[in-house]
Amino acid sequence: MIKEIKKDNKYWQSFIDNLKEAKMLKYVDLDSSDYLYIVNVVDNKVVGHITLVKNALEIPLLEKQPIEHNEEKLFEYFVQTFFVSEDFRRKGYGKELQEQAFTLSCKNDAYQMRSWSSYNKNANYQLKIDLGFSIHPGHTFIAKTNQYIPGVYFIKKC
């Protein structure tokens, strides 16, 4: 069962446990109203999740210059975390999470949904391509380790 949850949901603690299993808890702001939390529940346990954060679409390096269309500032939902527990992989749970994330992004009037994936995530590449995402090759910089990580951004317009 796929569902969007909030802190008062009975699956919240199971979601937190899934974030911990994935070692992704530190990447999610659990108190922000800019997040969407979507889980896949099997036998009353969260076996996968995807978290999305709402971001304004802005032109980089221009002091947060917003991108507008018809005088409205555009925004996206960016995939902050995505994880399916090992025993539940390759069974369609990840695909269901990604599809629901895109549906909710569009229902919330986002211009697009976007995510980043490092070069070594082949299964995620295949999934996103199968779901019709566009690919923008690039890199991300990790200041803590002073490293550039090659990979791609996946983007799908609502």
Sign of CA dihedral 66, 25, 97, 38: negative
The amino acid at 58: E
Are 132 and 93 spatial neighbours (Cβ–Cβ below 8 Å)?
Answer: no
CA distance 110 to 57: 10
Domain encompassing residue 96? 2-157
Q: Find the CATH number of the domain harbouring 87.
A: 3.40.630.30
pLDDT at position 62: 76
DSSP state of 88: G
pLDDT at position 81: 96
Query: Which phi and psi (to 5°) does residue 137 adopt?
Result: -60, 145
pLDDT at position 60: 81
CA distance 108 to 50: 16
Are 112 and 101 spatial neighbours (Cβ–Cβ below 8 Å)?
Answer: no
Q: What percent of the chain stands above pLDDT 70?
A: 100
The tally of domains found in the chain comes to: 1
**Exposed, middle or buried, 16 (CB in 10 Å: 0-12/13-18/19+)?**
middle
0.75 exceeded by pTM: yes
pLDDT at position 111: 98
